[in-house]
Structure formats: C-alpha cells, structure tokens
Structure 1
Amino acid sequence: MSPTTARPTGRRHRVLATAVALTLGLGTTLASTLSHAPAAQAAAHTPSVLPAADQPTQWWYSAMGYDELHKYGTGKGITVAMIDVPIDPNVPELKGKVASVKTLCSDQSVATARDASADHATNVASLIVGTGRGNGGPGVRGIAPDATLRYYAIGKGANDICNNSVDQTMGQTVDQAVKDGAKIISISLSGQFNQPFFIEALARAERAGVIVVAGADDEGGVYYPALANGVVSVNFVDRHGKLDPDAAHGTQSAGEVDIAAPGTNMLMGAHQGARWVSGACTCSGSSLATPLVAGGLAAVWSHFPQATGNQILQMMVNTPGMKQGTTSHGTRGWVYDFRRVGSGFPAVKQSGGGFGWGIFDPADMMYRQYQQFPDVNPVLEVSNADTVLPTWSQVTGKPLPGQGATATATGTASATSSGAAKAPSATAGGGSSLPWLLGGVVILLVVAGGVAMVVVRGRSRQAPAEEKTLEGSSHGSGI
C-alpha cells in the first residue's frame, strides 16, 4: 500500500533502515519512475500487454456509481485525515483541496515534495478529494470532493521517520489527527504497527468514535495497521470484481479482510522529474482501494450526519454490492458486484477469504436507514486476548462482558431489502463476478519507488469459527 503505485507487481522499492521499513503497494509503468528502482527489481507491466477491455482507465467512477453517490453526499462537513509520506498539494487534482499539511517531524520539509517520492500520497489523496482537473492527461475525481482533507506526513522514508520510531511517530500522528477533528483516518501504509504507542493511540481514536481505514498488504497478506482490532481492513479488486493476484486471498486472509474496493489498473498521475503528469501511471494496489473506502464513508456520513461512526460501518458491512448471477458451480444465486442490483437480498455474512463482507458500495448505502443499525463497531472483536490489538477493553474502556468471551460484534441487522428506502436499479460498472480484495496494509508507497519498512506479520485476528459466505456465492472464483 505504498504511495502511488501503479502495479508492476514485482516492483516495490525497499530501502531498509535500522528499525523501520515502509512498503508501498502501488506499482507504476512509468519509465521515469522505474529509473528510481533498484536494477534487480522486475520491470512493471505496461498497458499494452493488457486485453483491450482491461486497459487502464478511470473505470471505478461508473463501477461505484459516483454520480449517483454525489446526488446525496459529497463529504461536506466530514474531516478525513490521511497519514502517508510526502505529498504534492499543488498538482491540479489537489490544488485548493487539502485543508492542511502537517508533519510532527522537526524538519517540516519532509511533508511535501515535487518528485516521485510524492506520487503515492498525491494519488491517494486525489481519490478522496480530487478536482478531476489534470495536467497532460485526465485528472482524478475524488469520491468525497467536498470533505475536509487534513494530511499528515510521517517522513520521507525509512531513514527519516522524524528521527523517531515508527511506533511513536504514528501514535503521535493519530492523536494529532483526532485532536484536529478527524472523523475518518485513512492509512495506505503497512508494517510494524503493532507496537504500544500506536496501538494505544488507535484505541483512543476508536473510543472517540473515529473510523480508521487501512489497506491489506499487496503481497497476499494482512498486516498492521489493517490487522488491528477495530480498523477497517481493505482489499482490492479489478474492474470485473475479481481479487487482484496481489491481493490478500483465501484462508490466509480469513477473518482479517473486512471489505474490498477498486484498486487494479487505475489511471492515475505521476511525477516525471519535477513535472506532474496526470494519467501517466497504471496504478494498482490496496493503497488505492483504501482511500476509496475512507472517502466513500465520508460521503455517506455527510448524508447521515446524525449517525455514529459505528452505524456507518454497520451500513457498510450490511450493504455490499450484490446481484443475481450464476456462480462458478453453475447455480443461480447472489454474487458480489460493485452495486446492489435487485431486491430481497439475503443476510450478509463475512466471507472466509479476501472479500470480507463484500465489495464496498457507498452509492447504495444512501438508500438505507442508519437508525435500523446498532451502535456497535462490526469490525471490533470482543476479546482481550494478547493476540488481539488493541483489545476490546482498550477501545471501549470497559471490562470484557462475559469473562473469556470472544466474538465479532456484527450486530443483528441484515442486508435485506426491508430496511432500504427504494433500492436503485443501477448497473454495476463492469463488475460481474464476486471479487473482493482488501487494500494494502504495509506502509505501501506505490508509484515512485516506495519506502520500505521491514514488514512483520502482526498478530492475527481470530478467524471465524466457520467460513461465512453469501448464499450461492463463490468467493474469489468469479462466475
């Protein structure tokens, strides 16, 4: 999940430092970007090798129903905090859209850059509040264009994390974001984020009602912060609704992925020298899916300002994109899609693999009634086990109900059509299978050569007691 990564899957910069390593989850096809990569790194694939139907475009706009979503909410009144590496707030996509740029580093210059080191953060931010204006190519439109975006840089790379531990820097940055009024925090980074300072700050944020969204690793696993208890972990899918080959898959991600969103072959921008070129990057990664979820939740929350963050998340897991289709087993049933097409939806259950509850569908969340959902975080495991961080008690400030109890607080509301206002009959812009993928969790900086941080697998959440799937679905296999 690195900053701006157009995915040549094998190309991930890793600059190892004494105590940290940041991993960026986006790959790029730009020659200028590749010039920064070590000679031993594999070259990125180029759009020309893709089938015509899969050439990089801004396909996610129609797939997610941007225009319909924005009829009801654009994020106005919701503050989203984004934690990443340097950003270029002066590109056309972000000009005038970033409310503040901060870093807790004494060297304030690490917050911004006008070269490839800023590609990751710049693209990620554009997916939240982008203007749609570009330079030399199509600019990116944000999913929550009117949200207040506050940006926090943790340094330029593994050798410059405020001259501090990543744990301390990330913990202090999360606290600052909450102090600055963030209702949602988006983290397209992954790595050693299971240490005390960060975990305690995370618990404080969640207790304050802040939604934290982080991406899964782009190398098939799920690590902190996405693995942290109460954090929405995001996987990434392609335009057909299939899990990207680099996304978290199967039993390895069972119980660890919460939602999937677009993140494959997305047309983004990149710096060529000091010049920003829009549409120059064929980017892929959980780093891109993560801001779409964070921003999409902001858009929904702006339409339901009286809802709690927990209720917004309950709406998310109970309203995944679905439609009637033929599964890989040849039977008719409900399969995952980008939009919610039809009526009489079955109860939604978390999958045993990389889709979590399904594909994120903010446009159709607008047709639900938040009052029907409990004020309970559906991704917060009710456990005080030392393998669950932060613990339930750390987050809630309360003793564990029923000593030794361990469960996932999913609430009781189901994703049936009964609670919906009028379900729209929108088409799913290109998705026809059941793909879900979780956005990257390893401080993945994509595009410009990521910063690397020694990635250590975090303590995993307890997997579901049984594999939960949608009726008639075939997780990850398509139809």
Structure 2
Amino acid sequence: MSPTTARPTGRRHRVLATAVALTLGLGTTLASTLSHAPAAQAAAHTPSVLPAADQPTQWWYSAMGYDELHKYGTGKGITVAMIDVPIDPNVPELKGKVASVKTLCSDQSVATARDASADHATNVASLIVGTGRGNGGPGVRGIAPDATLRYYAIGKGANDICNNSVDQTMGQTVDQAVKDGAKIISISLSGQFNQPFFIEALARAERAGVIVVAGADDEGGVYYPALANGVVSVNFVDRHGKLDPDAAHGTQSAGEVDIAAPGTNMLMGAHQGARWVSGACTCSGSSLATPLVAGGLAAVWSHFPQATGNQILQMMVNTPGMKQGTTSHGTRGWVYDFRRVGSGFPAVKQSGGGFGWGIFDPADMMYRQYQQFPDVNPVLEVSNADTVLPTWSQVTGKPLPGQGATATATATGTASATSSGAAKAPSATAGGGSSLPWLLGGVVILLVVAGGVAMVVVRGRSRQVPAEEKTLEGSSHGSGI
C-alpha cells in the first residue's frame, strides 16, 4: 500500500523535513522561510501589526477558567494518548510529566528530538500536562496537569514511516494506545487517513469507549481524522471568541466541526538550535485547540469517573460557552463565549458552521450532572454509507437501525446550566466521586517540497447536518461582540 500523507495544519509553516510523505511544520504569525535544516530557528518576536490587546500571551488560562476548572478536576486517573512526530520530553514544561514515549518504528530514535523537528509535539503535549515552568520565558501550564500522558511518535521525515504506510502505522499506534489504557486520544496531524488500517483501528477504539479528538484544517476545510465518524472535530478561535481567519468557516465546515477552542496568538516555546526557549513562538492553529479539548475532557472526566465517554461528550456539546450580547446584526441575543454567563440558556443546536456546538467550556461542564445525558456519542453519525468512515456498524458492531438512517446520533439533552457566577461547587457525589498547527486530513494528499506544493483533494464523507440543527437564535457565532 502506498504511503499516506500527513501534514501540518499551521497557516504559515516552516518545512522541517525533506520527505514528501511527512512534513513537519511550525505555525507562527510571521511568514516563515522554507528550510531543510532540522535545527531551523523559530520566530521569537511578536508581529508589530497586531494591536497591543492581541499580542501573544497565555490568554487562554483565564478565558477557559483554568483555576476554577482545577478546583474540581485536573485529569488525575485519566490516561491521554497523544500521537504525533518527535517530542522533547526534557523541556521544563514536560520534565517528569510524560509517562511513556513510544514508537512502533524499529528505529527508536524517531520518537524524540532536541531541535525544531520536536517543536510541534512538545508544545501540543505542554497544553495537556505542562508544568508551567519555562526556560528563558514563561512556560506553559497544562489544562489537565495530573493526567497520565502517553506519547506515541509515528516517525519523522521518512517516505515510508516505520518502513510501513502511514495508514498501517497509525492504525497500529491507535490499537497500542487503547491497549495501554488510553481513555482519550489526541491527534494534531493531517493526512490521508480514510484508509482501512486506521479506520478499522479507530472503530475499535470508539467501540471500546475511547474519546478521539482531532483538529479541523487550518486552510478552511475539515479532513481526516477530524472528518472521521465519531471523532471530535476541533476548530480554533482567538481571544475574542472569533474564528481565526484560517480556521474552517461557513459552508465548507457545515456539519463537520464539533467544537471550537483557543488557538490564535498563543505564546508557546521553540527550539533555537538545540536550546529550548519558552515563549519564543507566536503560535496559531487547530493543533493547539485540539489538546486543549482533549485535556479539558480529561479534567472533566477525572471529576466524573463513573461517566461514560459518550456522556462526557454529551456534556460537552450541551454546555458551550455563551453569554448575552449584541449580535453582528445589532440585536440582543446569545453569542458564543468561553464561559457560560447568565441563565436560561437556549437549547443548544449545532451551528452548521465553524463553531459546531460552540466554544469548549470545561469549567462549566463541572456544574452539570452526567446522569442526565444518554450514553450516546453525539458526534457519531448513524450511517453505513461508504462515504462515512468508520460506519456506524463498524463502531457499534450492530446492524443499522431502521432504513435510510443518516441523522446524527445526538440526544437533545437540556442546555441550561447554573450561572458561573452563582454556581454551587460540584460535589463528589454529583459526579460519582485548555506553534504548531497540524492535522490529519484523510481526504487530502499534500506533497510539500522545497519551493513548491502539489495538492490533490479528494473529499470523503461530510458530516450531515440533521434538519433540526440550525443556527443558535440571535447568535453571531463570535462575530458580533
């Protein structure tokens, strides 16, 4: 089988590998030059074109309510698997925080690196379990600092990853992650991942109750694995709750995006030569939003250990951040925000656009009761069409109910939540006891070479938007306030 393509999801990325089958990227807000040097320098200064209020910071901590979230859940007892390219587990942000580093490649050296080829994975992992300690700048705090992070590298810059197809390597890696106890799998890569080995492994993982999270494309579309059935597809927004210009938008993402999270102008780290410098990268992309969702779900799940993965996802889609405000049409209504502010929230419906159900709000998920939600995956489409991969029957192991069923298996669930300002602290009994844009676009073949890009796009399945799904009444979807 010919190798599949994996590619970065960054808007402006530096090519760090010569192979066409796998390219390593570092997204910054500055235009980057193409380079084959594995120790290529990362941009270390902020662009002057940004207004002072938008200069890169670690703004997502307060936006997502880290301190409040961590009062109730830090991910302890939840294993998160991350699949990416080489990582540097010895940077201050990750020292002692990565439970294991594995690769199925015979060449074990592909798992780690101490140069720019490791920037992507290192930053993504920091967003999940980061210590907050840095070197030469502010370190990154993880959204689930006590989660067990198991890291899996699929190789680096080889035409045939692990002397195999990327499809087979990814499939085997997903299986290994499940075997190692992963409850959540985070993938910030992009490539042609609508291939048999990976799809079958994905179905097995979902059937086992594992939550799989992947990023939407940073060039306006949504590809595999984010497009895969049952996978949480993540888009990215800026500190104002607006979709990034390079995020998936409008009709191109209708029914394909599930949730949005911070991912624009994030102050992260980068290798400068062999030296790691915290705060050296102005980073943007869905690769950053993806681990915030994966880690945030881990933090929530650690507070509700008796909940199923499906119930955790039901809580997610029924608890988006919202507030009363002025829409882009000048009328008062509910608009997306990072937290739930107010009361009497309207019923939550998928937008059909780049926000999906809204902006990820793990802190306010802590105030819900998981028992009120059904054990049904809200992002799993009930369809066995050959454009829906994996099919509903592959995931569930059951025949398709009814005839011509293509509606999304989304339970209605109530959307009301206690105001974040007046909420009672969650009790233990209530639950049983947040530069490196990458993605896996299973429908995209992208060959990156020094000086040119050759691309062939073959669209796979598109998540179908059920008839009852519509834009939130009065919502500007982040464009109004």
How far the C-alpha of 1:411 sits from its partner, in A, is 5.5
Identity %: 100
How far the C-alpha of 1:48 sits from its partner, in A, is 1.9
How far the C-alpha of 1:477 sits from its partner, in A, is 2.8
Moved more, 427-436 or 121-130: 427-436
Q: Report the CA distance shift for 1:174/1:450 in structure 2 as closer, same or farther (over 3 A).
A: farther
Question: Residues 137 and 279 of structure 2 are in contact (CA less than 8 Å); yes or no, is this contact kept in structure 1?
Answer: yes
Q: Report the CA distance shift for 1:16/1:91 in structure 2 as closer, same or farther (over 3 A).
A: closer
In the aligned structure 2, how far is the partner of 1:146 from the partner of 1:61?
16
Moved more, 181-190 or 441-450: 441-450
In the aligned structure 1, how far is the partner of 2:79 from the partner of 2:450?
27
Which residue does the alignment assign to 1:433? 435
Question: Residues 5 and 448 of structure 1 are in contact (CA less than 8 Å); yes or no, is this contact kept in structure 2?
Answer: no
How far the C-alpha of 1:459 sits from its partner, in A, is 2.4
In the aligned structure 1, how far is the partner of 2:430 from the partner of 2:335?
12
Matched, 1:123 2:139: no
Q: Report the CA distance shift for 1:99/1:431 in structure 2 as closer, same or farther (over 3 A).
A: closer
Question: Residues 214 and 233 of structure 1 are in contact (CA less than 8 Å); yes or no, is this contact kept in structure 2?
Answer: yes
- 1:216-256 CA-to-partner distances (Å, cap 9, x unmatched) read 01100000000000000000000000000000000100000
In the alignment, structure 2 segments of 5+ residues that lack a partner are: none
Moved more, 396-405 or 283-292: 396-405
Partner secondary structure for residue 427 of structure 2: coil
Partner secondary structure for residue 465 of structure 2: coil
How far the C-alpha of 1:159 sits from its partner, in A, is 2.4
- 1:256-285 CA-to-partner distances (Å, cap 9, x unmatched) read 000000000000000000000000000000
Which residue does the alignment assign to 1:444? 446
Question: Residues 257 and 353 of structure 1 are in contact (CA less than 8 Å); yes or no, is this contact kept in structure 2?
Answer: yes
Moved more, 282-291 or 465-474: 465-474
5 Å matches for 1:305-324?
305-324=305-324
Q: Report the CA distance shift for 1:441/1:392 in structure 2 as closer, same or farther (over 3 A).
A: same
In the aligned structure 1, how far is the partner of 2:58 from the partner of 2:295?
16
Q: Report the CA distance shift for 1:448/1:375 in structure 2 as closer, same or farther (over 3 A).
A: farther
How far the C-alpha of 1:15 sits from its partner, in A, is 6.7
Question: Residues 63 and 428 of structure 1 are in contact (CA less than 8 Å); yes or no, is this contact kept in structure 2?
Answer: no
Question: Residues 323 and 336 of structure 1 are in contact (CA less than 8 Å); yes or no, is this contact kept in structure 2?
Answer: yes
Q: Report the CA distance shift for 1:324/1:413 in structure 2 as closer, same or farther (over 3 A).
A: closer
How far the C-alpha of 1:422 sits from its partner, in A, is 3.6
Which residue does the alignment assign to 2:177? 177
Q: Report the CA distance shift for 1:178/1:430 in structure 2 as closer, same or farther (over 3 A).
A: closer
Could you state the TM-score of these two structures normalised by the residue count of structure 1? 0.87
How far the C-alpha of 1:333 sits from its partner, in A, is 0.9
- 1:439-473 CA-to-partner distances (Å, cap 9, x unmatched) read 99989999999999976543222234365121210
Partner secondary structure for residue 87 of structure 1: coil
Q: Report the CA distance shift for 1:286/1:71 in structure 2 as closer, same or farther (over 3 A).
A: same
5 Å matches for 1:253-272?
253-272=253-272
Which residue does the alignment assign to 2:17? 17
In the alignment, structure 1 segments of 5+ residues that lack a partner are: none
- Higher RCO, 1 vs 2 (CA within 8 Å, ≥6 residues apart): 1
Q: Report the CA distance shift for 1:101/1:410 in structure 2 as closer, same or farther (over 3 A).
A: farther
Question: Residues 383 and 400 of structure 1 are in contact (CA less than 8 Å); yes or no, is this contact kept in structure 2?
Answer: yes
Which residue does the alignment assign to 1:462? 464
Q: Report the CA distance shift for 1:363/1:251 in structure 2 as closer, same or farther (over 3 A).
A: same
In the aligned structure 1, how far is the partner of 2:222 from the partner of 2:142?
26
In the aligned structure 1, how far is the partner of 2:355 from the partner of 2:2?
21
Could you state the TM-score of these two structures normalised by the residue count of structure 2? 0.87
Moved more, 222-231 or 416-425: 416-425
Q: Report the CA distance shift for 1:22/1:478 in structure 2 as closer, same or farther (over 3 A).
A: farther
Q: Report the CA distance shift for 1:418/1:397 in structure 2 as closer, same or farther (over 3 A).
A: farther
Partner secondary structure for residue 357 of structure 2: coil
Partner secondary structure for residue 68 of structure 1: helix
Question: Residues 189 and 443 of structure 1 are in contact (CA less than 8 Å); yes or no, is this contact kept in structure 2?
Answer: no
Partner secondary structure for residue 445 of structure 1: strand
In the aligned structure 2, how far is the partner of 1:371 from the partner of 1:471?
27
Q: Report the CA distance shift for 1:336/1:432 in structure 2 as closer, same or farther (over 3 A).
A: farther
In the aligned structure 1, how far is the partner of 2:67 from the partner of 2:3?
26
In the aligned structure 1, how far is the partner of 2:94 from the partner of 2:435?
33
How far the C-alpha of 1:352 sits from its partner, in A, is 1.4
Moved more, 37-46 or 386-395: 37-46
- 1:91-119 CA-to-partner distances (Å, cap 9, x unmatched) read 00000000000000000000000000000
In the aligned structure 1, how far is the partner of 2:301 from the partner of 2:235?
21
Partner secondary structure for residue 7 of structure 1: strand
- 1:408-432 CA-to-partner distances (Å, cap 9, x unmatched) read 5566776687999649999999999
In the aligned structure 1, how far is the partner of 2:410 from the partner of 2:162?
36
- 1:333-362 CA-to-partner distances (Å, cap 9, x unmatched) read 111000001111111000010000000000
Which residue does the alignment assign to 2:286? 286
Q: Report the CA distance shift for 1:320/1:25 in structure 2 as closer, same or farther (over 3 A).
A: farther
Q: Report the CA distance shift for 1:129/1:418 in structure 2 as closer, same or farther (over 3 A).
A: closer
In the aligned structure 2, how far is the partner of 1:207 from the partner of 1:307?
16
Partner secondary structure for residue 445 of structure 2: coil
Partner secondary structure for residue 478 of structure 2: coil
Q: Report the CA distance shift for 1:476/1:253 in structure 2 as closer, same or farther (over 3 A).
A: farther
Moved more, 348-357 or 466-475: 466-475
Q: Report the CA distance shift for 1:446/1:139 in structure 2 as closer, same or farther (over 3 A).
A: farther
Q: Report the CA distance shift for 1:116/1:4 in structure 2 as closer, same or farther (over 3 A).
A: farther
How far the C-alpha of 1:157 sits from its partner, in A, is 2.4
Question: Residues 338 and 361 of structure 1 are in contact (CA less than 8 Å); yes or no, is this contact kept in structure 2?
Answer: yes
Q: Report the CA distance shift for 1:426/1:306 in structure 2 as closer, same or farther (over 3 A).
A: closer
Question: Residues 335 and 478 of structure 2 are in contact (CA less than 8 Å); yes or no, is this contact kept in structure 1?
Answer: no
Question: Residues 210 and 309 of structure 2 are in contact (CA less than 8 Å); yes or no, is this contact kept in structure 1?
Answer: yes
Question: Residues 303 and 431 of structure 2 are in contact (CA less than 8 Å); yes or no, is this contact kept in structure 1?
Answer: no
Q: Report the CA distance shift for 1:152/1:39 in structure 2 as closer, same or farther (over 3 A).
A: closer
Matched pairs, number:
479
Q: Report the CA distance shift for 1:8/1:125 in structure 2 as closer, same or farther (over 3 A).
A: closer
How far the C-alpha of 1:78 sits from its partner, in A, is 0.1
In the aligned structure 2, how far is the partner of 1:428 from the partner of 1:304?
8
In the aligned structure 1, how far is the partner of 2:75 from the partner of 2:434?
28
Question: Residues 13 and 26 of structure 2 are in contact (CA less than 8 Å); yes or no, is this contact kept in structure 1?
Answer: no
In the aligned structure 2, how far is the partner of 1:433 from the partner of 1:423?
35
Q: Report the CA distance shift for 1:411/1:367 in structure 2 as closer, same or farther (over 3 A).
A: closer
How far the C-alpha of 1:3 sits from its partner, in A, is 20
How far the C-alpha of 1:47 sits from its partner, in A, is 2.5
Question: Residues 75 and 299 of structure 1 are in contact (CA less than 8 Å); yes or no, is this contact kept in structure 2?
Answer: yes
In the aligned structure 2, how far is the partner of 1:251 from the partner of 1:40?
37
In the aligned structure 1, how far is the partner of 2:335 from the partner of 2:438?
11
In the aligned structure 2, how far is the partner of 1:256 from the partner of 1:236?
14
Q: Report the CA distance shift for 1:214/1:455 in structure 2 as closer, same or farther (over 3 A).
A: farther
Q: Report the CA distance shift for 1:428/1:64 in structure 2 as closer, same or farther (over 3 A).
A: farther
- 1:61-95 CA-to-partner distances (Å, cap 9, x unmatched) read 00000000000000000000000000000000000
Question: Residues 435 and 478 of structure 1 are in contact (CA less than 8 Å); yes or no, is this contact kept in structure 2?
Answer: no
In the aligned structure 2, how far is the partner of 1:6 from the partner of 1:431?
40
Q: Report the CA distance shift for 1:389/1:449 in structure 2 as closer, same or farther (over 3 A).
A: farther
Question: Residues 335 and 475 of structure 2 are in contact (CA less than 8 Å); yes or no, is this contact kept in structure 1?
Answer: yes
How far the C-alpha of 1:320 sits from its partner, in A, is 0.3
How far the C-alpha of 1:163 sits from its partner, in A, is 1.4
